[in-house]
Amino acid sequence: MKQLTWGGAMALAVLAAVGAGALMYRYDRAESARRHEKQVQEDPAYRQLAAELQTKTAQHSEAAAKLKEQSDLAEERGRELIAMREQAASKDAEISSLNEQAGEDKRRIAALTQSLEEASAAARRKFLYVPGTLNVREEPKADNNTKIITSLKAETVEIIGSRTPQGSSTVWYQVKGSFGTGWVSGRNAVVIDLSK
């Protein structure tokens, strides 16, 4: 074996001392940390703070759970609201369709009513049939001073009014035709009443 030189031995001794010192420093430090932790844990103020922290943590967890529950409930309500809006939109479309149908029904009813009124009016019309010849006059009287508008011969005209002149038993009918309107005596004519 080679012999260590004095310098080498010294260097080796220094290295050993430094290594041992480092180990001792680490041990002391770890031991000091354990003692400090034990002292802190045994400290009443620390215990109180730890208990408060635990309480706060539990309260926070409870609040977080409630918040999650409220969030889930709000989400469920949101889904229900969307479904209700969709139903409302569907109902609105249905109501709009019913309104359109009701409008169409009203138009049909109005057209039918008008047709019925026209049919009823037509059914109430009266006509005068002239089998022979009859003069149409401007006034309901048969004298030489009353102007003759035209003569009817074997014709049918619509009656629009009637009058019996004072002092006479003859009914005069106001009629209308292609000539316009005028008066004819009902003595030699036949009344046709469509309402009967």
User: Is the same domain home to 137 and 79?
Assistant: no
Q: Which domain holds residue 184?
A: 126-193
- Number of Cβ within 10 Å of residue 129's Cβ equals 13
**pLDDT given at position 136:** 95
Number of domains in the chain: 2
Strand, helix or coil at 40?
helix
Distance CA 72, CA 68 (A): 6
**pLDDT given at position 37:** 77
User: Is the same domain home to 109 and 130?
Assistant: no
| Of 155, 149, 154, nearest in space to 136 by CA | 149
User: Is the same domain home to 114 and 162?
Assistant: no
User: Is the same domain home to 107 and 69?
Assistant: yes
Amino acid letter, residue 69: E
**pLDDT given at position 119:** 58
Helix (H) or strand (E) holding 58: helix 44-123
The answer to whether residue 151 sits within a structural domain is: yes
Q: What is the pLDDT along the chain (196 residues), one digit of tens a residue?
A: 456 587 777 777 777 777 777 788 888 788 877 887 777 777 787 777 778 888 888 888 888 888 888 888 888 888 898 988 888 888 888 898 888 888 888 888 888 777 666 655 556 789 999 998 999 999 998 888 889 999 999 999 999 999 998 888 889 999 999 999 999 998 888 998 877 6
Phi, psi of 57 (to 5 degrees): -65, -45
With 0-12 / 13-18 / 19 or more C-beta atoms within 10 angstroms meaning exposed / middle / buried, residue 188 is exposed
User: Is the same domain home to 116 and 19?
Assistant: yes
